[in-house]
Amino acid sequence: MSLMRRLERGQSAEEAQRQNPAPERKDPTGDLPAGGSGNNQRPTSLRARRISQPPAGAARGGYMDLKTRVQNRLLAELDPTLDIKKDEVRRTIQELFDQILIEENTVLSRPERQRLFEQIVAEILGFGPLQPLLDDSSVTEIMVNGHKNVYVERNGKLHRTPIAFESDAHVMRIIDRIVAPLGRRVDEASPYVDARLPDGSRVNAVIPPISLVGPTLTIRMFSKDPITVEQLIEFGSLTTEAVIFLKACVEANLNVVISGGTGSGKTTLLNVLSSFVPSDQRIVTIENAAELQLRQEHVVTLETRPPNIEGKGEINAQQLVVNALRMRPDRIIVGEIRAGEALDMLQAMNTGHDGSMTTAHANSPRDTLARLETMTLMAGYDLPVRAIREQIASAIDLVVQVDRQRDGSRKVINITEVVGMEGDVITLTDIFQFEQSGFEEGKVIGQLRSTGLRPNFLDRIEDAGIHLPPSIFGVGQRPRY
Ligand SMILES: Nc1ncnc2c1ncn2[C@@H]1O[C@H](COP(=O)(O)OP(=O)(O)OP(=O)(O)O)[C@@H](O)[C@H]1O
Ligand SMILES: [Mg+2]
């Protein structure tokens, strides 16, 4: 997208806001950009507009006015053929910005000037008020609930920020800027959308009339340096013993489901477990939004595709699982199972594609099995429940339950073996379990402990040439590392 087009989008929105209430506007959202038509609405007289401004008493109003004026003048004066990707754009903007301030005879302190400049650059080249949050590496999630409420998650805890958008129309403009380059759109006909920022961060946007609090935006920040197994141990999410056990399970080709609530750390743990896959194996990953960051060389990454505006062209996870089976995979890793792909995944696990891994939304290992059952039924075959349970029991070897604790930390709370069937019931055995001993100074105190039971699949681990000391399972001496 050229700089001109991007600026025009921004400018047409500013115009709409400034002319509000504009009787001829019918669009309830105010200003979804209309393909660069902003050019026609550009004010001919900046002076006339300045006169119509409220008195300079309202500091914020005055500041916004100055920002809009400088932005509009930049729009008028920047070379329209300039490509926004080029580095010199920032320098050009800086030069024009300095010049405009001199011409306007505006005196600003150095910090004010810097702030104004950064805000304008963020509007033109970045994602407006969100830009400083996107640049802040301590932020793991950004949540916008209408233009006045912006929350972030830091260290697993929610905080409200002082950041606000100028209006709901401003939020809409930023949403559009995120989704438009991906060929997506969000409007009354399709009022929610999933997208990804250029850096890989996962974005979901929902706008009115579905959202009653104005346009909302949720951004799961993509971490360039994904959490490592060492960090998981350091954070207290896992213990060394549990890691040794899980590594052995992955190397011995067991089928693993990681389950947990939303944002509980499922994908992060899947990424860590995937790193244990030996590098001589061919891995095919299937995700709705590619989040996994595997370090192995031989990885094929597949991503599902939502339907286009006419509702056509969807490629779902189920289709990709079926396709992956034809790709000679050693491992199939599905980012998250939600629906009918569960059946194909179970069938794959039961027909020689061992070592598969996935995640599922569920509150306990038992709940995971129930969710799998429901998902399998979603595949649309009229299978008897018992047959489904048998498939599940023989396919899944291990369920790893993660949980977001009330102190914001994420912990593995169960590592559970799926043993088999007893009558109509699938039997489960906890191998590790989190034992909470207290809650002190806002922190959950406890430890992931082995239950003393050895898994039935231990012989499969031994067959793979891996010997786990009995101490891993809490038998005899604890190992020294
Ligand atoms: N063990 C951990 N300790 C601290 N932070 C973690 C841990 N695991 C994950 N996180 C952070 O928590 C957030 C959510 O993690 P992740 O994406 O893995 O969760 P999820 O369960 O897959 O979420 P969703 O349900 O949305 O797919 C991320 O910002 C991640 O960096
Ligand atoms: Mg996830």
29 has a pLDDT exceeding 80: no
Measured between alpha carbons, how far is residue 469 from residues 283, 413, 459, 461, 480 in Å?
A: 29, 22, 13, 12, 11
Q: What is the pLDDT of residues 248-303, one digit of tens each?
A: 999 999 999 999 999 999 999 999 999 999 999 999 999 988 899 998 999 999 99
Q: What is the rounded CA–CA span in Å between residue 288 and residue 295? A: 20
Cα of 200 vs centre of ligand 1, distance in Å, is 15
Q: Whose CA is nearest to atom 18 of ligand 1?
A: 265
From the alpha carbon of 359, which atom of ligand 1 is closest? 22
163 has a pLDDT exceeding 50: yes
Read off the amino acid at residue 227.
Answer: I
Q: What is the rounded CA–CA span in Å between residue 334 and residue 372? A: 14
Ligand that comes closest to the CA of residue 263: 1
CATH of 127-222, one of 3.90.470.20, 3.30.450.370, 3.40.50.2000, 3.40.50.10790: 3.30.450.370
Cβ proximity of 294 and 275 under 8 Å: yes
Pairing relationship of beta strands 410-422 and 398-404 according to DSSP bridges: antiparallel
Q: What is the rounded CA–CA span in Å between residue 351 and residue 370? A: 22
Q: What is the pLDDT of residues 368-417, one digit of tens each?
A: 999 999 999 998 888 899 999 999 999 999 999 999 999 989 999 999 99
149 forms beta bridges with: 145
Percent of the chain with pLDDT over 90: 56
Cα of 179 vs centre of ligand 2, distance in Å, is 20
Ligand that comes closest to the CA of residue 231: 1
Q: What is the DSSP string of 371-430?
A: HHHHHHHTT-----HHHHHHHHHHH--EEEEEEE-TTS-EEEEEEEEEEEEETTEEEEEE
Sign of the dihedral through C-alpha 412, 413, 419, 425: negative
Q: What is the DSSP string of 182-194?
A: GT---SSSS-EEE
Any idea where the domains of the chain sit in the sequence? 1-125, 127-222, 229-473
Ligand 1 lined by 288 (C-beta under 6 Å): no
Judge if 127-222 and 229-473 fold alike in CATH terms. Answer: no
From the alpha carbon of 268, which atom of ligand 1 is closest? 18
Cα 207 to chain centroid distance, Å, stands at 18
pTM of the model: 0.78
Cα 223 to chain centroid distance, Å, stands at 10
Ligand 1 lined by 265 (C-beta under 6 Å): yes
From the alpha carbon of 411, which atom of ligand 1 is closest? 1
Q: What is the rounded CA–CA span in Å between residue 475 and residue 472? A: 7
Ligand 1 lined by 235 (C-beta under 6 Å): yes
Residue 350 tokens, joined: 């039961």
CATH 3.40.50.300 corresponds to the domain 229-473: yes
pLDDT-derived band at 199, boundaries 50, 70, 90: confident
